[in-house]
Amino acid sequence: MDETTYARTDDTAELSHIAQVIRADIVQMLATAASGHSAGPLGMAEQLTALYFNTMRHDPANPAWPERDLFFLSNGHTAPVLYSALARAGYFPVSELGTLRRLGSRLQGHPERDALPGVESTSGPLGSGLSQAAGYAHVLQNIDHVKNRFVYTTMGDGEIDEGNVWEAAMFAGKYRLGNLIALIDRNNIQIDGATEDVMPLTNLRAKWESFDWHVLDIDGNNVRAVIEAINLGKAVTWAPTMILANTVPGKGVPFMEYDHTWHGKPPSPSQAEQALNALKGGVVA
């Protein structure tokens, strides 16, 4: 991996390039570790690119900046996509990505709060991120009366089988948390198969709207669409926003795309080489 870092930008081609760089990082990290999850992180590259390189207020030189926005990775097993975004934004050396899941590494299989600069919460048990984000957003908006700070979270679609998610959904709707923007990575798979076979989610828009959320349904692999949805969510001050980000699991790697068996396994060295060659063909210069 080269040590290139990237600054905030509004150039769509540059953002698309960053997303592809993040994907290449993910493949290399997982192959080196010989452990971890492939499909979800690859599909989420545009979401993390939109957040860390365009929409979110943060400062890699000052991770504890009091005016920063906050990001909670609820689907913690997708940690490689967060680690790559943080490294490419300048929070820690890119070379450290090669230590994923090693004993003693700061980059464990699920993010640990305070282990790395820029990591706001520990996430392992699924279903907790929305509660964490909603609680923080509530304090900012209704107790501290802070304006212009936003709280973001991403969740997997299989993750929302967890009941805790819906308790948080009720809470956020009740308190009209306009400073809370959540994204569901709607890739239609989970570790045991298709989401609609394991536990049908059916009409997610209607579900979230019934909890008094503002809901947007987008192409989650279009970085400009993600940015526009986040910006629209910021403008909706009377309700929390849920972005249903429809994505391709394993995006950019043809032999992984849409295949649920890649949810929880890494590529072998030969598969990683094949994946990186495919990603090179899709890099925006």
Domains present along the chain, CATH in parentheses? 12-282 (3.40.50.970)
**Mean pLDDT score, 107-113:** 95
Q: Give the tens place of pLDDT for each residue, 96-107.
A: 999 999 999 999
Question: Quick check: 69 pLDDT over 80?
Answer: yes
**Mean pLDDT score, 64-93:** 97
Compute CA distances 194 → 98, 154, 183, 186, 250, whole Å.
Answer: 31, 19, 19, 11, 14
Question: Quick check: 112 pLDDT over 50?
Answer: yes
pTM above 0.85, yes or no: yes
The DSSP annotation for 47-73 comes to HHHHIIIII----TT-TT-TT--EEEE
Q: How far apart are CA 95 and CA 276, in angstroms?
A: 17
Structure confidence at residue 124 (pLDDT): 81
Q: Give the tens place of pLDDT for each residue, 228-249.
A: 999 999 999 999 999 999 999 9
**Mean pLDDT score, 64-84:** 97
3-state secondary structure of 86: helix
Q: Residue 220 burial by CB count (10 A; 0-12/13-18/19+): exposed, middle or buried?
A: buried
* Backbone angles phi and psi of 132, in degrees to 5: -60, -45
Q: Give the tens place of pLDDT for each residue, 247-285.
A: 999 999 999 999 999 999 999 999 999 999 999 976 543
**Mean pLDDT score, 116-120:** 96
**Mean pLDDT score, 135-146:** 97
Q: pLDDT confidence of 202, banded at 50, 70, 90?
A: very high
Q: Are 208 and 214 in contact (CB under 8 A)?
A: no
Average pLDDT score over the chain: 96
Q: Which of 145, 80, 152 is nearest to 111 (CA)?
A: 80
Structure confidence at residue 282 (pLDDT): 65
DSSP secondary structure code for residue 268 in this structure: P
Structure confidence at residue 1 (pLDDT): 78
Ranges assigned E (strand) in the chain: 70-73, 151-156, 180-186, 189-190, 193-194, 214-219, 241-246
Compute CA distances 126 → 159, 167, 174, 193, whole Å.
Answer: 6, 14, 23, 17
**Mean pLDDT score, 145-168:** 96
Q: pLDDT confidence of 43, banded at 50, 70, 90?
A: very high
**Mean pLDDT score, 44-52:** 98
Give the percent of the chain with pLDDT over 70: 99
